[in-house]
Structures are given as C-alpha cells and as structure tokens.
C-alpha cells in the first residue's frame, strides 16, 4: 500500500518534470544548428541576461540544451532524457535517485553550468579526493569550452602548504569540484582568520552532493573537528572505571540500548556518593567526576569489544557502525576513547581539545541551495526530508534493469554459509563469469581470498589499498573470469563495465556474504551489477551468526540451546525455518536502521545549540572583519558596560579593589589617584574608569601612529577575544554533551537540560568576550615585523 502511494507520488513528480524536459528538448534542434562559436557565445549571452534580471529558472531549458549539445561536441556524450530529468531535480535543490552507471557525473554538469553562470560559485561535492579529481578532470574540457572557469577545490598533494591568496584564487572559480571533508575544513579555517586578508571562502551559493546518502545521512553526525592543544588529561579514568565495575544492573543503572544512553538510578547515585565520599555528585564542583562516571558507564556497558571496536596492538580501533569497516586513526571524542582504553586496561592516549567543529549536516545548511544524488536516496527519504526538507524523485533508468536480485540464501551458521559461498564462486568461475564477492569486514575478505587461492582461483583482494588503486581494480571486475573480493565501500563511485562475452554468460555476479547494517548499503551493493541495462545477478547469504543478528537481533531461536536443535540438513529442507531466519535477519536490520535514525536525531538535537551559537559568533566575526572604522566599533560604550558590571560584581567601592582592577584590566603602570571621587557612587567610578580607558586607547594610537594599523590593532584585539572564548566554548559544549545524561538529577529531560546549560554558558561567554576585548586593547603590545606588518602581543 505504502509502496503504491509512493509510486503514485513519484509519477506525479515525474509528470511535472517531463513538462520541463520537453522545454529543454524544444531547444535541441536550434542548438544543434549553431556553429561552435555561436554555441560558445551562449554563455556570455546568458550571463548578460542574468545581469539584466533574468531568473535561472527561465534560462534553464535553453541552458541545459546548450550543455547537452556542447557535451556531445566536446565529450562525445549526449545527455539522455533521464539525465536531464535528474538535472532539473538538482536545480530545484532536491534529490534525484539515479542508479549506478546512469551517468550522474554528466547529469551534474547541467545544473553546475546554470548556477555557475552567476559567478557566485557552484560546487560538486563528493566523498573522496580521487573521485573529485577524476570527475573534475573529465568535465574540465566541457566547462572550459563553454567559457566557465573550473577547478579542483584543493591541491592534491599530501600536506600541501597553501600560499597566501592561493585558496582565494581557487574559490573564485565558477565551478569547483571538491570533497565534503575539504570544504568543511576550509569553512572552519576561514572562520579562524584574524583579518580580511586571511578570508578566502565566499558565501556558499549552490552545491550538488554526489553519493548523497553516504555523505549526508551516514556521515552527517560525524563532526569535523579542528583540534587544538592537548587537553589537560583527567586522572579520573582509572577510578571511575573501577567504580562502575562495582555496579549491579537495574539496581544501579538503567539503559536504553537503542538510544545508546545509560544513566545511574537513584541507588546508583547513592553508591557513587558513598564511593567517592561526596554529598551529591551532581553538585557543581563534581562536574568532572560526573562526566567521567558517565564516560566509564558508556564505555563499559554500551561499547562492546569486537562489535564496536577491536583492541589491536595495544590500541582501540573503532568499527564503523554502518559498514562494519575498521576505522584506524579515528577516535571517539571528548574522553570516550580514553574511557574505553581504561576499560581495556591499555595505555591511555592523549585527548585533544576541540577548537572548531561542524557537522556535515550544518555545513550543507550554509548553502543557499543544494541538491544531492545517489543510487539509493529513496530509502533515506525520511531522513532527507526531516533534516533538510528535501524530496527524493526516483528517475527511471534509461534502459530497463536486467539484473536478477535473488532472495536471500539461508544458513544456520557461518561455517556452512562460507562453504556454500566458496562453492558458488567456484561454480561461477568455472564458466568464466566474473564475480564480485563483498564482505562486511576486511578479515572476511582476506579469508575468502585465501580460500579461493587454495582452490587455484586467482582473485583480486580489495582491502586497505588507496582509493585510486581500488577504483582501478574494481573497474576491472567485469573482465572474463575475474574474481574480485572486496569490502562494502571499496571502489564506490566507479562503475563496472562488462568485457566482451560477459553478457552472454549472464553478466557480473554480485555475491554478498551477509546483510549490512542498513538496507541502503545492501542496495548499493546489488547495484554494482546490471548497469545501463546489463544482465547480472545479486545474491545475499545469511545465517543466524551474522553481525546484524548478533548485534540487533532478539529472538527465541537465538536463545541458548534452541539453535542446536536444528540440523543444517533440516534447515535446508524446512521452508518454515528458512522463513523464520529471513524474518529474524530482516527484523535485526530494521532495528539497526531505526537505531541509526534515533542516533542521528539525537545528534541533530544536540547540534542545535552549537550551531545556533556558531552562527551568531561567525556573524559577529564577519561584522568585525568588515569594519574599517574604529569609531563605528563603539568601544567607549562597551567599556562602560564592562566597568559597570565589574563595579557591581567585584566590589570596586574600595580603594584597593579599584586599584587592583585598574592594574589588571587597564594599565599596570597606573600611578594616579583614585580617591578623588566618591567610591560609593557607581557612576563616578565607571566614568573614571572610562576616562582611563580613553587615555589608554589614545596612548595605543599614538604608539601605532598609522590610522589603518591602529584599526587593524583594534580589530585583532576583538577577534582574539572572540576566538579564545569561542574555542573554549566549542570544547566545553562537546564535553557537556558527554556529561549530560538521561534522567539524571530529578527526571529532567536530557536534551532540554543540555540546551539550558549551553545557553547559560553562552551568555557567560559573551560577557567574558567583552571583558577580554577591553583587556586586549588596553594591555596588548603592538610591534612591527621586518616587513612592516603589525604584530600584536596579547596579554594572555
Ligand atoms: P554513476 O555516477 O551514475 O554511477 P557515471 O557518472 O560514473 O555513473 O557514468 C557511468 C558511465 O557512463 C561513464 O563511463 C560515463 O562516461 C558514461 N555516460 C554517462 N552518460 C552518458 C551518455 N549520455 N552517453 C554516453 N555515455 C555516458
Ligand atoms: Mg558516480
């Protein structure tokens, strides 16, 4: 029923799109009739019309027709109607679902061209450097022929140092191919610039995200973090680990497996109070202790060795939740990694403080408009809509899909399953049919590869190669007799062309050794076969020992003793058992997907505070950077506000306190009188301080002489105050997130509590920024380096 409704909605959308497709088609004949020069001249003409107020929407039909014709002349490919449909959806800022091999790279050129005409930047964002570079190189001749500038968004060399102005030049191009990671880091770096000359990123105008589900659903919550100094290492990991080991479930703690949340019960809180000898661990001074208890609880009860991580060579190596892949070099944030290390009794590594961070989800929100494409968007539609308000339009394939997706083959355990898989690969190989065998983990890929070699079947093993190599190897998976063993993400984005004679054998056979944690990934894997109407097959093997079942499955069949009763033979003969196992696996996968969604929504909730605060701070920074007039900065008013607050909170009505205040905040050389005024009158004291401030300001100006340099000095002082406080705040919010826990302290809602504390700390930070601005201006020392550039030495 739901599927039928979906189909009807989709057909409605396609129908509206086809009207616009016809408008594009209507221009093709006249474009074909143009000479090369006349076709190329269209770009300048469009740009002029945009300047005269024409909307992109009104130009779309003709512009897309121009790109189609140019693509034919330059690349020898004429974008098909289904590609034009996808291109229209992208321009609307929505998400076309287009199968693997349908030509998404070429599809994207149409909206990139149209939006690139404005000169405000059009971005193609993909998952890795290799794909960005490959697609950029392939499409460069087309865009250059049409007269738009195009570039790769980064210099593809390890540890490349950008010269001043180099990034600005990159981002000045009409069209930019880059990756989500590169763009995200540049966004953060751009907002750490301490002068207009250090800024390089224009406002983000239009973007297209390739492999959108992987970037904006799966990775959306993984924040990009610019790390700063090593954090002061907590020495509580060991003791809190020992404490949580004394706890008894239900009595002392409660948890919600699905939401990955765990918290102490009232009795648990009592136990903690006794263990640590405090009145109430939730009292303010024990902030760090509570944080560490929570970390230790999560490490011990929510993270399972060999499911969530491995201990390898004395290190904790994470396992990707979605793909089951190992993630060497990736660490959990805010002390969680260290808590797991403590749990495992291995050496505790250094935790770095976060300096700036953003999730991809919020990065993409910075775009005026963005669309995304992938082969499996539909299964993520709810996510796309909830997070971004995007709809998914399923674009039909150019040719009907000929691939046969077989129902899952069922086994009782992994031993019998793996044997059957090897037999199957051998049988396919005997007739020279190419096979792509996909596993969840690198270990399993290695295992199969070895087993196949032992049977004299040469095979390509795709693990731990670099992406370029993987792409090259996967591209060859369609050769006669080729056997390729790979993990799920290997070679994504590269399509597999069939060699001569393979079609006759039935095309590529995709064999998957178990269900992945998300059915979207399963579908991507099946899509490896059957591109552009090729024949092919896909087959997933399942058993009750599969990872998804172990991780997420709950069933009587799995309970002790039950399984042993069935013999493998019996399983094969019993339709009932087969159906039960299929159900268990399917349910486990659904639980896993729901968990993924819950996790994402939770992360999204938490991110809201940070993101709102970041917007305010970044806006404020930009305002300061653009401000060229010291008078406009209203420093006197700011100083009065700071002094007034100080008077009320720091008892400046005594001579000693007032003198100290002046030393610490305005001038440590002050020798003048402070008793010439009535210290009990707030106004008099504030005015006095304000006057001293004006004197300091004037002294700084005399010292720096040059008006422009003086303005830069003030600007840097303000930015320094904003940044040093904001950097602390980012780190604080990250830690806070780890320390706020469900139902702690009187049943308050965790997220509500988090937002409340986050807001309070933001207000505190704003006051601290004001104080620091006045401090920096009064107490910094300005010097000039050899080149005559201003160097400011800040007081702290
Ligand atoms: P996707 O990203 O959708 O999986 P690609 O963009 O990698 O697919 O394209 C798959 C292949 O199809 C590429 O070799 C590409 O050159 C080719 N191709 C795409 N569009 C056309 C077209 N209109 N005419 C001919 N070949 C095309
Ligand atoms: Mg692609």
Residue 366 structural domain:
1-226+361-394
How confident is residue 747, by pLDDT bands cut at 50, 70 and 90?
very low
DSSP states of 102-165 as a string? S-HHHHHHHHHHHHHTTSS-EEEEESSHHHHHHHHHHHHHHHHHHT--EEESS--STTPPPPTT
Please report whether residue 614 resides in a domain.
no
Of 363-367, 401-405, 563-567, least confident by mean pLDDT is: 563-567
Please report whether residue 784 resides in a domain.
yes
Pair 724, 677 in one domain? yes
pLDDT value at residue 745: 46
Pair 261, 384 in one domain? no
pLDDT value at residue 561: 57
Q: Which residues are annotated as a binding site for ATP?
A: 83, 101-105, 495
pLDDT value at residue 743: 46
Give me the CATH number covering residue 765.
Answer: 1.10.3060.10
Pair 126, 185 in one domain? yes
Give me the CATH number covering residue 218.
Answer: 3.40.50.300
CA distances from 519 to 96, 331, 387, 523 (A): 19, 26, 20, 6
Please report whether residue 55 resides in a domain.
yes
pLDDT higher than threshold 50 for residue 84: yes
Of 347-361, 566-580, 610-624, 715-729, least confident by mean pLDDT is: 566-580
Pair 221, 110 in one domain? yes
Please report whether residue 76 resides in a domain.
yes
Number of domains in the chain: 4
Q: Whose CA is nearest to atom 12 of ligand 1?
A: 103
105 lines ligand 1 (CB under 6 A): yes
101 lines ligand 1 (CB under 6 A): yes
Mutational pocket test of ligand 1: of 103, 213, 375, 475, the residue with most ligand atoms within 8 Å of the beta carbon = 103
How confident is residue 572, by pLDDT bands cut at 50, 70 and 90?
low
Cα(691)–Cα(701) distance, integer angstroms:
15
Q: Whose CA is nearest to atom 5 of ligand 1?
A: 103
Pair 115, 199 in one domain? yes
Please report whether residue 602 resides in a domain.
no
pLDDT higher than threshold 50 for residue 392: yes
pLDDT in tens, 313-342: 788 887 765 555 566 666 777 788 899 999
86 lines ligand 1 (CB under 6 A): no
pLDDT in tens, 244-297: 888 887 888 887 766 567 888 889 889 999 998 988 888 777 878 888 898 898
Of 428, 475, 586, 502, the C-alpha closest to 131 is 475
78 lines ligand 1 (CB under 6 A): yes
Q: Which residues are annotated as a binding site?
A: 83, 101-105, 495
Nearest listed ligand to the Cα of residue 138: 1
Pair 294, 313 in one domain? yes
Give ion ligand 2 contacts, CB < 5 A: 104, 493
How confident is residue 210, by pLDDT bands cut at 50, 70 and 90?
very high
How confident is residue 376, by pLDDT bands cut at 50, 70 and 90?
confident
Average of pLDDT values for 30-43?
97
Q: Which of residues 537, 571, 591 is at a domain's end? A: 591
Cα(198)–Cα(200) distance, integer angstroms:
6
Pair 411, 427 in one domain? yes
Q: How far is the CA of 124 from the centre of ligand 1 (A)?
A: 16
103 lines ligand 1 (CB under 6 A): yes
Pair 141, 19 in one domain? yes
Mutational pocket test of ligand 1: of 82, 106, 108, the residue with most ligand atoms within 8 Å of the beta carbon = 106
80 lines ligand 1 (CB under 6 A): yes
pLDDT higher than threshold 90 for residue 80: yes
Q: How far is the CA of 390 from the centre of ligand 2 (A)?
A: 20
Of 250-254, 336-340, 447-451, 636-640, least confident by mean pLDDT is: 250-254
Pair 446, 511 in one domain? yes
Angle at 787 between CA 784 and CA 792, to 5 degrees: 30
Tell how far CA 59 is from the center of its chain: 33
pLDDT higher than threshold 60 for residue 357: yes
How confident is residue 640, by pLDDT bands cut at 50, 70 and 90?
very high
Give me the CATH number covering residue 305.
Answer: 3.90.1440.10
Nearest listed ligand to the Cα of residue 84: 1
How confident is residue 746, by pLDDT bands cut at 50, 70 and 90?
very low
Average pLDDT of the residues of the chain: 88
Please report whether residue 555 resides in a domain.
yes
pLDDT higher than threshold 80 for residue 136: yes
Please report whether residue 617 resides in a domain.
no
Please report whether residue 179 resides in a domain.
yes
Q: What is the CB-side half-sphere exposure of residue 441 using CA atoms within 13 A?
A: 18
Pair 380, 412 in one domain? no
Pair 310, 426 in one domain? no
Pair 58, 182 in one domain? yes
Of 167-176, 675-684, 783-792, least confident by mean pLDDT is: 783-792
Q: Which is the closest atom of ligand 1 to the Cα of 102?
A: 3
Select the more confidently predicted residue: 487 or 177: 177
Choose the most confident range, by mean pLDDT, from 94-98, 260-264, 288-292, 673-677.
94-98
Q: Whose CA is nearest to atom 23 of ligand 1?
A: 79
Mutational pocket test of ligand 1: of 68, 95, 101, the residue with most ligand atoms within 8 Å of the beta carbon = 101
Cα(161)–Cα(184) distance, integer angstroms:
17
Q: What is the model's pTM?
A: 0.82
Of 147-161, 278-292, 489-503, least confident by mean pLDDT is: 278-292
């Amino acid at each position: 029923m739901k599927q039928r409704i979906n189909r009807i909605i989709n057909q409605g959308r396609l129908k509206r799109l086809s009207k616009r497709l016809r408008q594009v088609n209507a221009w093709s004949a006249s474009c074909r009739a143009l000479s090369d020069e006349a076709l190329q001249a269209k770009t300048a003409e469009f740009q002029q019309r945009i300047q005269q107020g024409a909307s992109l929407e009104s130009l779309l039909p003709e512009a897309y027709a121009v790109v189609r014709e140019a693509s034919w002349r330059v690349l020898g490919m004429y974008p098909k109607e289904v590609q034009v449909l996808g291109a229209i959806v992208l321009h609307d800022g929505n998400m076309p679902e287009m199968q693997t091999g349908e030509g998404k790279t070429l599809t994207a050129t149409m909206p990139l061209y149209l939006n690139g005409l404005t000169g405000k930047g059009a971005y193609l964002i993909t998952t890795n450097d290799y794909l960005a570079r490959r697609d950029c190189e392939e499409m460069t001749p087309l865009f250059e022929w049409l007269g738009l500038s195009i570039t790769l968004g980064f210099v593809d060399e390890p540890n490349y140092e950008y010269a001043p102005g180099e990034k600005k030049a990159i981002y000045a191009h009409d069209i930019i191919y880059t990756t989500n990671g590169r763009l995200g880091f540049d966004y953060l770096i751009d907002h750490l610039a301490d002068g207009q000359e250090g800024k390089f990123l224009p406002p983000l105008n239009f973007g297209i995200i390739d492999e959108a589900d992987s970037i904006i659903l799966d990775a959306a919550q993984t924040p990009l973090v610019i790390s700063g100094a090593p954090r002061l290492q907590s020495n509580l990991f060991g003791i809190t680990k020992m404490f949580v080991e004394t706890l008894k479930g239900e009595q002392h703690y409660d948890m919600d497996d699905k939401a990955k949340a765990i918290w102490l019960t009232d009795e648990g809180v009592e136990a903690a109070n006794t263990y640590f000898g405090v009145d109430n661990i939730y009292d303010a001074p024990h902030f760090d202790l509570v944080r560490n208890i929570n970390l230790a609880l999560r490490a011990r009860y929510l993270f399972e060795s060999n499911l969530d991580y491995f201990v390898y060579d004395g290190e904790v190596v994470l396992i990707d939740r979605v793909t089951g892949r190992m993630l060497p070099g990736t660490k959990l944030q805010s002390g969680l990694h260290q808590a797991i290390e403590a749990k495992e009794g291995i050496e505790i590594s250094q935790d770095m403080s976060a300096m700036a961070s953003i999730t991809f989800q919020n990065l993409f929100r910075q775009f005026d408009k963005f669309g995304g494409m992938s082969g499996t968007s539909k299964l993520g539609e709810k996510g796309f809509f909830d997070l971004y308000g995007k709809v998914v339009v399923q674009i039909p394939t150019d040719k009907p899909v000929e691939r046969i997706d077989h129902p899952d083959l069922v086994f009782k355990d992994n031993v019998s399953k793996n044997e059957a898989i090897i037999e199957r690969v051998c049988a396919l190989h005997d007739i020279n049919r190419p096979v792509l065998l996909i596993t969840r983990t690198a270990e399993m890929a290695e295992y199969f590869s070895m087993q196949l070699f032992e049977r004299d079947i040469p095979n390509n093993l795709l693990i731990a190669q670099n992406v370029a190599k993987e792409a090259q190897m996967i591209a060859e998976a369609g050769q006669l007799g080729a056997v390729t063993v790979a993990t799920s993400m290997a070679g994504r984005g590269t399509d597999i062309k069939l060699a001569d004679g393979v079609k006759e054998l039935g095309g590529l056979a995709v064999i998957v050794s178990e269900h992945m944690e998300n059915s979207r990934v399963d579908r991507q894997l099946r899509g490896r076969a059957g591109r552009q109407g090729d024949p092919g097959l896909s087959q997933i093997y399942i058993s009750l020992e599969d990872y998804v079942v172990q991780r997420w499955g709950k069933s009587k069949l799995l309970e002790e003793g039950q399984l042993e009763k069935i013999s493998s033979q019996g399983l094969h003969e019993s339709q009932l058992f087969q159906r039960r196992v299929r159900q268990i696996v399917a349910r486990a996968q659904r639980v896993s997907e729901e968990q993924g969604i819950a996790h994402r929504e939770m992360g999204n909730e938490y991110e809201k505070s940070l993101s709102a605060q970041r917007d305010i701070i970044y806006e404020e920074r930009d305002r300061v950077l653009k401000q060229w007039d010291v008078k406009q900065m209203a420093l006197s008013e700011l100083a009065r506000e700071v002094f007034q607050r100080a008077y009320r909170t720091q008892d400046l009505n005594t001579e000693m306190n007032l003198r100290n205040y002046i030393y610490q905040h305005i001038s440590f050389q002050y020798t003048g009188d402070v008793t010439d005024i009535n210290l009990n009158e707030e106004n008099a004291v504030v005015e006095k301080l304000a006057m001293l401030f004006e004197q300091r300001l004037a002294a700084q100006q005399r010292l720096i002489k040059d008006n422009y340099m003086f303005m830069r000095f003030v600007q840097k002082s303000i930015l320094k105050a904003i940044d040093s406080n904001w950097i602390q705040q980012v780190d604080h919010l990250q830690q806070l997130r780890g320390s706020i826990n469900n139902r702690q302290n009187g049943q308050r809602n965790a997220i509500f509590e988090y937002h409340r504390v986050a807001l309070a700390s933001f207000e505190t930070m704003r006051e601290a920024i004001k104080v620091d601005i006045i401090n920096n201006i009064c107490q910094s020392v300005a010097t000039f380096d050899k080149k005559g550039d201003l160097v400011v030495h800040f007081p702290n």
